[in-house]
Structure 1
Amino acid sequence: MVSLDRMGLEYREFVNLIDNLHDEILIYDNNFRLLYVNKACERHYGFTQDEMLGLSFWDMVKKYRGWDNSVLPVIYEHKRPVKQKQKTYLGYDVLTIGVPILDEQGEVEYALLNIRDDCNENEVCWRDGLVAEQEDTLDERPDNLIYHSSAMARVVEAARKVATINAPCLLLGESGCGKSLLAKFIHTKGNRADKPLVVVNCAAIPHELFESELFGHVKGAFSGATHARGGLLAKAEGGTLFLDEISELPPAMQAKLLHVVQEMEYRPVGSSQTVSANVRILAASNKNLERMVQSRAFRQDLYFRLNVFDITIPPLRDRDKDILPLLYHFLHYFGIKYRRTKTLTPEAQSFLRQYPWPGNVRELAHLVERMVATTESEVLTIDHLPTSVYQTSLQPLPGHGYSLDDALGGMEREMIRKAQKVYGSTRSVAKALGISQSRASRLIRKHCPPHES
């Protein structure tokens, strides 16, 4: 937990800020005792803060009719967040959201209530009513690229710079790391954004059909060609042609694509006439194209033509700061899709931040969707993770002669060291791993000697 000192706030300043929030904030202990309420209570009930703190919850409900349909007893009983539309003593329609804070035994320790009304709606201005023009959106973050890491920030900045340039650009990175999303971002930020973005998966088109699919064909070009048909290049006219998995391009097509990139023209199958091409070409690969050039699996001249600019997206394991925002992004996305609200326990978050994610963002998205769709509990724990995650996380032991105790001891040491690094204090480590604080202290002394911490 971040201290007030680190925030640059003194306690009095912090309380004064919370006191002046528009929403009413109440904090109860586990015995219906009000510990804190901010000044918004005066607007809702006509009581001062001191008067509210002196009232019992049941007096507030039964004697003064502070609000109807109280959520607090429901929070204590079900130990889960609750929301309820209510009417206060002074007649305000409010939305109350209550959140329980659970102790180590899973019992309610505190209940936090946030109560919002539409009072002073006419006095509080909408932003658009004060700002005549929209702010410059040149540096806005991409909608579908979720990141906090500086590594991805550099990738997006590089993509922003090449977006307005018509030269080819090569997007590199492991499978599932977001090359297609980056290609879409480059297209939408360029001067061809109002024209088509045509995506070609080079691995999905049969080799014998590739030329016809890309260049189109004239009537009678081959058996079954009863009429002329434009290819994917024609569909991308004026816009962007994105060649995904370019490493899978058939050798014969590599020479023909080289001609397109060099001369910006192509010849439909069966035609004697060339057609000019006005397209921006983006290509992507999850393979090492330089190595493929060395082994003569990919044309060197085509590689150089496509590689005018290149952007490499780092794998997810090298940008752990992106894992948590991605987890919550997909929890929200799939929560809406399946109409299920899910949260992750701190220990599950910690485990997933340490997981190497060989399938990158695609694997993370599929894992979250699976848990949201198939798990009944609203709180997702380590127990809800698929076994494949554990199997990938477990590193093979070197040599022979290791017993089960050796393996379990190694896993315990790894978990304790990682938890101590992430959470720091013994209390936080204990909570994250679901053990007592005394046990956490003992294990930290055992596995994290002072000279290593």
Structure 2
Amino acid sequence: MENFIKNTDIKDLVNIIDNIYDEIVIWDDNYTILYANKACGRHYGLAQDELIGKTLDYFIGTEKYWTPSSVPYVYKEKRSVIQNQKTLLGIDLETISVPILDEENNVKYVVQSCRDEFSFLSQKLAPIESNYDEKFEEITDLIYKSPNMKKVVKLANKISSYDVPCMILGETGTGKSLLAKYIHGISNRKDKPFISINMASINPTLIESELFGYKKGSFTGASSDGKKGLFEMANGGTLFLDEIGELPMDLQAKFLHVLQEKEYTPIGSVTPIKLDIRIICATNCDLKQMIEVHKFREDLYHRLNVFELNIPPLRERIQDIQILTAHFLNVFNRKYSRNCRFSDEAMDLLMKYSWKGNIRELSNIVERSILMMEEEYIKATNLPPRFFTLDKVTGCKMDGSLSDAIEDVKKNMIINAYKEHKTTRKIADALDISQSQACRLIRQYVDND
């Protein structure tokens, strides 16, 4: 972006915007048009110089070049809106109006983009065939860009074609169940059931009947119709057992038998049922330590751990924070009909936070911020108090102002990145910034330190 702006003449930039097919209009706080591109001629029959410099009253007065107008509302409410409009020429438009705020949080400009309805566009513009990769739909929920997550996904892609058990390790909230679903979705079993169960959420006395099912009348309190177990429900597909460390010891031997013999027997039955299934397990516990204290069978551990995937915590994949934040903003803005964004200072804090709750905590923070905010911009001061405690932000001094604290964190990140990577290119890649930014920050924090 910096290189583009640096190497692009302002006239070239204006020429680019002039020729965008959608209408672009910029208003000032006097409701006066500062800029309009050539598309306005198609919508209103007016040349650019016939719009620029004129006020809103001119266009929505007697002539009514379009109706209704959202500009006054955006200035008053300080929020983006979308609105259907009709022009003097009978053209239906979808108009998005976005406020641009100044340093005092007042609306300085309103930028509008106005698009013809699709049926009109399809007559004017040549459509192209939609020939996207069908696999793309399957993987869009797995959002990442960090090198260490790329390694995890690369290994997941490799093992997805092998019908053997795998173990997913990681802290709470890192996305273990999502990765299990991803593996199933790209495997040969993708058209078969994916059954997921959290072992910690089931009463230990009920786990056996949940897994194996039972025949009618098998025990006191059993359903008169019997019950399908998870093995039967997942047959042909994938069974994902989250928190596998919670499986009681007395059932571990029975589970091991299922894995070895590829068959199971429902409670109350004497007839084994053949099983064609893939097992994926996950845990945030140290199973090796549990083996040492005789809480987990070593033979079962080795049977389940043919392949091991270790999802790093969010604090070790900083490059993913920004893209995940954008994802959750889209999800919750859509859910609550909002258009909130984080300020640069708030994003700085999100990037430096320790995220002990990982992706789940990030999701909760974004949702909470959207629900609590009346304005569109979520500022650093709108974040919960825990974002400003010493143990949550690495290397941050607690005395001084918030801007000093953010500056201190930024300095520590640059110094640590310089010690580890040495070159500006590698530092830029590690911190997901441009190389020119890396050079400037090294001069600022390293050379002058």
C-alpha spacing 1:29/1:315, structure 2 compared with 1 (3 Å) = same
Matches within 5 A, 1:336-351: 336-351=334-349
Matches within 5 A, 1:57-72: 58-62=57-61, 65-72=64-71
Aligned CA-pair RMSD: 3.2
Question: d(CA) in 2 for partners of 1:242 and 1:143?
Answer: 20
Amino acid at match of 1:359: G
Whether the 8 Å contact between 2:353 and 2:392 is mirrored in structure 1 is no
Tell me the residue number matched to 1:160.
157
Q: Does 1:310 align with 2:308?
A: yes
> Cα offset for 1:397?
10
Question: d(CA) in 1 for partners of 2:67 and 2:241?
Answer: 61
Question: d(CA) in 2 for partners of 1:411 and 1:381?
Answer: 12
Whether the 8 Å contact between 1:217 and 1:228 is mirrored in structure 2 is yes
Amino acid at match of 1:173: G
C-alpha spacing 1:302/1:10, structure 2 compared with 1 (3 Å) = farther
> Cα offset for 1:319?
1.6
Amino acid at match of 2:122: E
Question: d(CA) in 2 for partners of 1:161 and 1:71?
Answer: 52
Tell me the residue number matched to 1:417.
408
Whether the 8 Å contact between 2:199 and 2:242 is mirrored in structure 1 is yes
Tell me the residue number matched to 2:282.
284
Whether the 8 Å contact between 1:217 and 1:230 is mirrored in structure 2 is yes
> Cα offset for 1:97?
2.2
Question: d(CA) in 2 for partners of 1:101 and 1:84?
Answer: 18
Q: TM-score of the superposition, structure 2-length normalised?
A: 0.81
Tell me the residue number matched to 2:109.
110
> Cα offset for 1:179?
0.8
Tell me the residue number matched to 1:121.
122
> Cα offset for 1:78?
3.7
> Cα offset for 1:9?
4.2
C-alpha spacing 1:421/1:296, structure 2 compared with 1 (3 Å) = same
C-alpha spacing 1:222/1:123, structure 2 compared with 1 (3 Å) = same
Tell me the residue number matched to 2:46.
47
> Cα offset for 1:317?
1.2
Match for residue 260 of structure 1 among 233, 258, 261: 258
Question: d(CA) in 2 for partners of 1:12 and 1:231?
Answer: 69
Amino acid at match of 2:407: I
My pick for the range that moved more, 204-213 or 275-284, is: 204-213
Q: The residue matched to 2:172 in structure 1 has which SS?
A: coil
Q: The residue matched to 2:220 in structure 1 has which SS?
A: coil
> Cα offset for 1:5?
4.5
Q: Percent identity?
A: 42
> Cα offset for 1:242?
0.9
Question: d(CA) in 1 for partners of 2:11 and 2:378?
Answer: 37
Tell me the residue number matched to 1:29.
28
C-alpha spacing 1:260/1:291, structure 2 compared with 1 (3 Å) = same
> Cα offset for 1:145?
2.0
The count of residues paired between Structure 1 and Structure 2 equals: 418
Whether the 8 Å contact between 1:327 and 1:364 is mirrored in structure 2 is yes
Amino acid at match of 1:102: L
Tell me the residue number matched to 2:426.
none
Show CA shifts across 1:248-283 (max 9, x none): 111222222111111212233344443221111111
Amino acid at match of 1:230: K
Show CA shifts across 1:342-399 (max 9, x none): 332222222112111111111122222333334444432233323344447557999x
Whether the 8 Å contact between 1:4 and 1:10 is mirrored in structure 2 is no
Whether the 8 Å contact between 2:194 and 2:237 is mirrored in structure 1 is yes
Tell me the residue number matched to 1:214.
211
Question: d(CA) in 1 for partners of 2:196 and 2:324?
Answer: 25
My pick for the range that moved more, 66-75 or 351-360, is: 66-75
Q: Does 1:2 align with 2:2?
A: yes
Show CA shifts across 1:276-324 (max 9, x none): 2111111111122233334443222211111111211111111222222
Tell me the residue number matched to 1:437.
none
Matches within 5 A, 1:32-431: 32-53=31-52, 55=54, 58-62=57-61, 65-118=64-117, 119-127=120-128, 130-131=129-130, 134-138=131-135, 142-225=139-222, 228-391=226-389, 393-394=391-392, 407-409=398-400, 413-418=404-409
Q: The residue matched to 2:349 in structure 1 has which SS?
A: helix
C-alpha spacing 1:258/1:416, structure 2 compared with 1 (3 Å) = same
Question: d(CA) in 2 for partners of 1:65 and 1:377?
Answer: 31
Q: The residue matched to 1:356 in structure 2 has which SS?
A: coil
Question: d(CA) in 2 for partners of 1:45 and 1:38?
Answer: 12
Structure 2: gaps (5+ residues): 415-440
Show CA shifts across 1:148-207 (max 9, x none): 323333333332332232111111111111111111122222222222222222222233
Amino acid at match of 1:15: V
Q: The residue matched to 1:100 in structure 2 has which SS?
A: strand
> Cα offset for 1:58?
4.6
Amino acid at match of 1:451: D
Tell me the residue number matched to 1:440.
none
Question: d(CA) in 1 for partners of 2:109 and 2:53?
Answer: 18
Whether the 8 Å contact between 1:19 and 1:38 is mirrored in structure 2 is yes
Q: The residue matched to 1:121 in structure 2 has which SS?
A: helix
Question: d(CA) in 2 for partners of 1:412 and 1:198?
Answer: 48
Amino acid at match of 1:331: L
Amino acid at match of 2:283: S
Question: d(CA) in 1 for partners of 2:166 and 2:46?
Answer: 65
